[in-house]
Amino acid sequence: MDTSLRTLFSHLEDEEVTFFADLILPIPVPRLFTYRVPRGMAEILKIGARVIVPFGKNNGRVLTAVVARLHNSPPTGYQARYISEVLDEYPLVTSYQLELFRWMSEYYMCCIGDVMNVALPSGLKISSQSKVQFNPDFDYPELLTPVEEMLLTELKKHPALSYEELGRLVGEGGNVPAVIKSLVGKKAVIVFEEVKEKYVPKMVRKIRLHRNYEEKEQLLVLLQRLEKLPKQQEVVMRYLRHVPVQITPSLNQKGLDKSILNQDDELSQSSLTTLIKNQVFETFEVIQPRFADNLVPQAEIRLTDAQRQAAQDIMAQFERQNIVLFHGITGSGKTEIYIDLIQQALAGGTQVLYLLPEIALTTQIVVRLQRVFGDKMGIYHSKFSDNERVEVWKGVVSGQYQFVVGVRSAVFLPFDNLGLIIVDEEHETSYKQHDPAPRYHARDVAMMLAHWQQAKVLLGSATPSLESYYQAQQGRYGLVELFQRFGDATLPDIMLVNTQQEKKQKTMKNEFSSALLDELETNLERKEQSILFQNRRGYSPYMQCEDCDWTAECPNCAVSLTYHQRDAELRCHYCGHKEAVPRVCPVCGSTKVRTIGYGTEKLEDQLQIIFPQARILRMDLDTTRAKNAYQQIIQEFEGGQVDMLVGTQMITKGLDFDNVSLVGIFDADRLIHFPDFRATERAFQMLTQVSGRAGRRAGRKGKVLIQTTNPQQTILQKIIENDYRGLYEEEIQERQNFNYPPFSRLIKLTIRHTDKAISLQAAERLAAELTDALGESRVLGPEEPLVERIRNQFLFDILIKIEREKMNVKAVKAYIQDRINDILTDKGLRQVSIVADVDCL
DNA sequence: AGCACGCCGACT
DNA sequence: GTCGGCGTGCTC
């Protein structure tokens, strides 16, 4: 579709008309900004294209913006400034995405600029000095113009050149952007955005024949000359076998991996060195393509009968439903079913998006998918650099990636023809963005996307969210269930260990029950692996004086400081504050300052003392902070060099280890009794998911030990029996009684200020106004959250419940926004910050 | 979000 | 006398 101004306003004859563009700016201001379109730009400017604009006082800042609207009505009250540059000849943001941006900013009550900020990889955002580099994969014999040839030669000499530098080379009158565009089209060069973070291409050292020997005749002469040097001749022959230069001389340009030539013997190494010295070969470096498809493609996926049946059921449901919930127990082999469905969707010519929670994406799943889909699959992950994200973005536009696996932000990729979206581990709370706006839920956004593009959505989970299961029960989603593990594997036996009782009998060793220790020991003897789950990092969560009960607290937040033994310091898990461990109590001077409670670090420590011969690893936020630490831990554990893995909820997600036969769970009680209406659901999900890590292969029935002070709790019985239905029935009744989701929508308003009185005043006023309008039953609070002070700001929460059927959610949101705006314009309260979290978890 | 303008403390 | 603290207000 041509959206340029000329076609939009073709009815306007007057050449003197000035055009304006309403732009989305990457700033948290709830409106669009109107700029003037310079005369010559009107022809090329399109909705969805990026532009560069001056912004702020004295043109202080330069921003990248996206064109949201084009029109010819001058703004009133101010003089619009000019757009300074157009970055895209074609829309970078599709009309689908613009629609998505608008919908999200309204639905999630945030600024459209915030949406744009998360949606675009920063490589497409930061004031961009675009750079160009030679594409090492370029297949030479393409028709090139003399100018192109010249630029290419220059580019080969440099790692990368900017448009400006290329402009100087071409000289006056040359049209650099046009030439670059053409070269990009021929895949001869790669354009990337220069960002703060330097572009560090992965380099591979390759070799090729010196130019002198590219032609057949010279090559023959060379081989004759090497007749008396059999080793060297052999190396050249080997090269020619891989790169048939004698048939297609241009192939030589691509060269060959050095490692391929001297793979087996040491001798060829020295011969090669000589050949290089004598300028028969030359070495050069090229950029490693990011997602090399050097993986062995997997043979056809074989589905078991149960899997095939499930896949067929899902397809059948899709005939009538747009959304299907797939409830398959842990280890039932959901991935194979997904692969089957993805292949079907791709065969139908549509795009596919496979969403995974952040942490699950780094694991084995990606490798498995890559074996099947190779370089047709894009990977979108936050641990990837910006350039890699931009590559995926462009790959979606170009059609190279018909299929993308990604984390929540992958919903922002420029899809225009989605046929299927899979939301794996649908219940995962990490799909909801918590901290910066937009506070969106990727699962819900995905459903919106699918709705617009007539795609099907498959929600997959072993422990579906109550919300989704309820929709399925109501017939609004399809439902397919699979209660059989893959192969002959069976669900693990789950046993409860009464720690109260063991304490009385004095059989506990620190935090470990004798029952758990026994199992750990036999597992160690059998050389099988164990996983220990404690959802709390650090050494211990409190440091307390035994004499006066003083507790170490964060100076900025209303929480106790956690003791981290490795760095011998106290740390706040909310603001990051660190301080030294006090030798004596700062209040009474007593030396009896002790740590209380335990986290993963302490468990690891004690475990090592109990089992000195065991190899133990810990996986939590603290041990996975380094770039590849997460993968490294998984690899080591997978490789079998590790006997026990201690971890936080990080270990519950999607890990698939063959040799794990024991899972131990500490402090289940703390999970169950968390003061939140979702605590039961969460505890069930978490404990079921961790348990699911055990006994995933036939022949080894797994065992799970849950330590609790009260084994009678009904939820624990449900976990043992894997009774999701029972949990659902009970919980949904509770939700209905108290009008919680899925029977209502929740909006949480958080009011923040450094002065507690001001914060409270604003919160009370807001709550009063909302109660007046919505009724008492729909407004809860203001109340202090569990942690009422973070970073020296005092917090108050107001929770609003809106029934799905009875109320117009849009109107309510608009009303809330108005009341917030009122408060923010009040002289005394304007410095408070109020954030809305729609569908808060 | 940034950035300028603005009105009050400890420094050459 | 100034440098600079960060409160507050605006950005097409």
d(CA A447, CA A458): 9
d(CA A97, CA A48): 9
d(CA A338, CA A456): 13
Greatest mean pLDDT among A497-506, A581-590, A726-735 lies in: A726-735
The pLDDT score that the predictor gives to residue A199 is: 33
3 state SS of A154? helix
Q: Which strand C nucleotides have any atom less than 7 A from protein CB atoms?
A: 7-12
Assess contact for A587 and A622: CB atoms under 8 A. Answer: no
d(CA A520, CA A639): 19
Tens digit of each residue's pLDDT (9 = 90 or more) over A611-622: 999 999 999 988
The pLDDT score that the predictor gives to residue A59 is: 62
The pLDDT score that the predictor gives to residue A159 is: 66
**Residue A517: is its pLDDT beyond 70?**
yes
The pLDDT score that the predictor gives to residue A130 is: 54
Q: Of A650 and A745, which is predicted with more confidence? A: A745
Assess contact for A544 and A526: CB atoms under 8 A. Answer: no
Whether nucleic acid strand B comes within 7 Å of the CB of A57, the answer is yes
d(CA A220, CA A668): 76
3-state secondary structure A572-632: CCCCCCEEECCCCCCCCCCCCEEEECCCHHHHHHHHHHHCCCCCEEEECCCCCCCCCHHHH
Confidence of residue A395 (pLDDT cuts 50, 70, 90): very high
**Which nt is closest to the CA of A56, judged by C1'?**
C11
**Residue A110 is assigned to a ligand binding site:** no
Verify cis geometry, omega within 30 degrees of 0, for the bond prior to A782. Answer: yes
Q: What is the mean pLDDT of the segment spanning A776-796? A: 88
Q: Cβ of A167: how many Cβ atoms within 10 Å?
A: 15
CA A563 to the chain's CA centroid = 30
CATH topology of domain A5-125: GIY-YIG endonuclease (3.40.1440)
Task: List the A154 CA – C3 C1' distance (angstroms).
Answer: 50
Q: Of A253 and A818, which is predicted with more confidence? A: A818
**Residue A382: is its pLDDT beyond 80?**
no
The pLDDT score that the predictor gives to residue A658 is: 82
- How distant, in Å, are the alpha carbons of A536, A599, A696 from that of A658? 26, 26, 6
**Residue A420: is its pLDDT beyond 60?**
yes
3-state secondary structure A392-460: HHHHHHHCCCCEEEECHHHHHCCCCCEEEEEEECCCCHHHECCCCCCCCEHHHHHHHHHHHHCCEEEEE
The pLDDT score that the predictor gives to residue A291 is: 45
**Residue A451: is its pLDDT beyond 50?**
yes
Whether nucleic acid strand C comes within 7 Å of the CB of A52, the answer is no
Assess contact for A213 and A280: CB atoms under 8 A. Answer: yes
**Ordered strands of the A478-482 beta sheet:** A377-380, A403-406, A351-355, A418-424, A456-461, A323-328, A478-482
Whether the CA torsion A706, A711, A713, A717 is positive or negative: it is: positive
The pLDDT score that the predictor gives to residue A164 is: 57
Structure tokens at A237: 């022959």
Confidence of residue A292 (pLDDT cuts 50, 70, 90): very low
3 state SS of A749? strand
Task: List the A575 CA – B1 C1' distance (angstroms).
Answer: 20
H or E, element range at A812: helix A809-825
Domain A493-536+610-733 class? alpha beta
Tens digit of each residue's pLDDT (9 = 90 or more) over A7-33: 677 666 556 788 999 999 999 999 999
**Residue A283: is its pLDDT beyond 60?**
yes
**Residue A197: is its pLDDT beyond 60?**
no
Q: What is the mean pLDDT of the segment spanning A133-154? A: 73
For residue A709, the 8-state DSSP code is S
H or E, element range at A730: helix A724-737
The pLDDT score that the predictor gives to residue A50 is: 93
**Residue A281: is its pLDDT beyond 70?**
yes
Assess contact for A236 and A222: CB atoms under 8 A. Answer: yes
Whether nucleic acid strand B comes within 7 Å of the CB of A58, the answer is yes
**Residue A557 is assigned to a ligand binding site:** yes
Whether nucleic acid strand C comes within 7 Å of the CB of A218, the answer is no
Domain A128-197 class? mainly alpha
Q: Cβ of A387: how many Cβ atoms within 10 Å?
A: 20
Question: What is the residue whose two structure tokens read 């744009």?
Answer: A116
**Residue A148: is its pLDDT beyond 60?**
yes
Span between the terminal Cα atoms of chain A, in Å: 40
The lowest-confidence range among A14-18, A355-359, A491-495, A795-799 is A14-18
CA A443 to the chain's CA centroid = 13
The pLDDT score that the predictor gives to residue A835 is: 93
Greatest mean pLDDT among A13-27, A234-248, A463-477, A611-625 lies in: A463-477
Task: List the A237 CA – B11 C1' distance (angstroms).
Answer: 79
Which CATH number among 3.30.413.10, 3.40.50.300, 3.10.105.10, 3.40.50.720 corresponds to the domain A294-482? Answer: 3.40.50.300
Q: Give the pairing type, strands A644-647 and A529-533.
A: parallel
The lowest-confidence range among A348-357, A457-466, A587-596 is A587-596
Q: Give the pairing type, strands A323-328 and A478-482.
A: parallel
Tens digit of each residue's pLDDT (9 = 90 or more) over A396-411: 998 999 999 999 999 9
Q: Could you say which architecture CATH assigns to the domain A744-838?
A: 2-Layer Sandwich (3.30)
Q: What is the mean pLDDT of the segment spanning A698-716? A: 87
Identical topology for domains A294-482 and A493-536+610-733? yes
Task: List the A145 CA – B5 C1' distance (angstroms).
Answer: 55
Whether nucleic acid strand C comes within 7 Å of the CB of A80, the answer is yes
Q: Is the pTM of this model over 0.85?
A: no
d(CA A526, CA A834): 57
The lowest-confidence range among A267-276, A657-666, A715-724 is A267-276
Assess contact for A766 and A760: CB atoms under 8 A. Answer: no
**Residue A126: is its pLDDT beyond 60?**
no
Amino acid at position A491, single letter: L
Whether the CA torsion A544, A545, A546, A548 is positive or negative: it is: negative
Confidence of residue A2 (pLDDT cuts 50, 70, 90): low
Q: Which strand B nucleotides have any atom less than 7 A from protein CB atoms?
A: 1-5
d(CA A354, CA A408): 10
Structure tokens at A687: 């404990």
The pLDDT score that the predictor gives to residue A189 is: 73
Confidence of residue A353 (pLDDT cuts 50, 70, 90): very high
d(CA A793, CA A787): 11
**Residue A707: is its pLDDT beyond 70?**
yes
Task: List the A437 CA – C4 C1' distance (angstroms).
Answer: 33
**Residue A700: is its pLDDT beyond 50?**
yes
The pLDDT score that the predictor gives to residue A195 is: 35
C-alpha dihedral over A688, A694, A700, A703, to 10 degrees? Answer: -70
- How distant, in Å, are the alpha carbons of A18, A60, A73, A427 from that of A80? 11, 16, 11, 47
H or E, element range at A794: strand A793-803
**Residue A263: is its pLDDT beyond 70?**
no
Average pLDDT of the residues of chain A:
85
**Residue A377: is its pLDDT beyond 90?**
yes
**Residue A548 is assigned to a ligand binding site:** yes
Domain ranges of chain A: 5-125, 128-197, 203-287, 294-482, 493-536+610-733, 540-597, 744-838
Q: What is the mean pLDDT of the segment spanning A627-646? A: 85
**Residue A751: is its pLDDT beyond 90?**
yes
Whether nucleic acid strand C comes within 7 Å of the CB of A20, the answer is no
Whether nucleic acid strand C comes within 7 Å of the CB of A78, the answer is yes
d(CA A434, CA A589): 41
Tens digit of each residue's pLDDT (9 = 90 or more) over A47-63: 999 998 989 876 667 88
Structure tokens at A789: 């002070």
